[in-house]
A and B are shown apart, each in its own frame.
Chain A
Amino acid sequence: EDKVVQSPLSLVVHEGDTVTLNCSYEVTNFRSLLWYKQEKKAPTFLFMLTSSGIEKKSGRLSSILDKKELSSILNITATQTGDSAIYLCAVVSGAGSYQLTFGKGTKLSVIP
Chain B
Amino acid sequence: DVKVTQSSRYLVKRTGEKVFLECVQDMDHENMFWYRQDPGLGLRLIYFSYDVKMKEKGDIPEGYSVSREKKERFSLILESASTNQTSMYLCASSAAGEKTQYFGPGTRLLVL
Residue positions of A touching B, CB distance < 8 A: 31-32, 34, 36, 41-45, 48, 88, 90, 92, 98-100, 102-105
Contact A98 B106 (CB under 8 A): no
Q: Which residues of A contact B45 (CB under 8 A)?
A: 99-100
Contact A41 B105 (CB under 8 A): yes
CB within 8 Å of A: which B62-112 residues: 90, 94, 99-106
**How far, in Å, is A9 (CB) from chain B's closest CB?**
8
Q: Which residues of B contact A44 (CB under 8 A)?
A: 103
Residue positions of B touching A, CB distance < 8 A: 4, 31, 33, 35, 40-45, 48, 50, 58, 90, 94, 99-106
Given contacts A98-B48, A100-B45, A102-B43, contact A92 B99 (CB under 8 A): yes
Contact B105 A42 (CB under 8 A): yes
Query: What's the Cα separation between A45 and B101 when bound, in Å?
Result: 8
Q: Which residues of B contact A31 (CB under 8 A)?
A: 99
Contact B103 A98 (CB under 8 A): no
Q: Which residues of B contact A43 (CB under 8 A)?
A: 43, 90, 103
Contact A42 B103 (CB under 8 A): yes
Q: Which residues of B contact A102 (CB under 8 A)?
A: 35, 42-44
Contact A98 B100 (CB under 8 A): no
Contact B94 A98 (CB under 8 A): yes
Q: Which residue of B lies closest to A41 (CB)?
A: B105
Which of A31, A36, A92, A100 has the most B CB atoms < 10 Å from its CB?
A100
Q: Which residues of A contact B43 (CB under 8 A)?
A: 43, 88, 90, 100, 102
**How far, in Å, is A65 (CB) from chain B's closest CB?**
14
Contact with A99, one of B48, B103, B106 (Cβ below 8 angstroms): B48
Q: Which residue of A lies closest to B2 (CB)?
A: A45
Contact B105 A100 (CB under 8 A): no
Q: Which residues of B contact A88 (CB under 8 A)?
A: 42-43
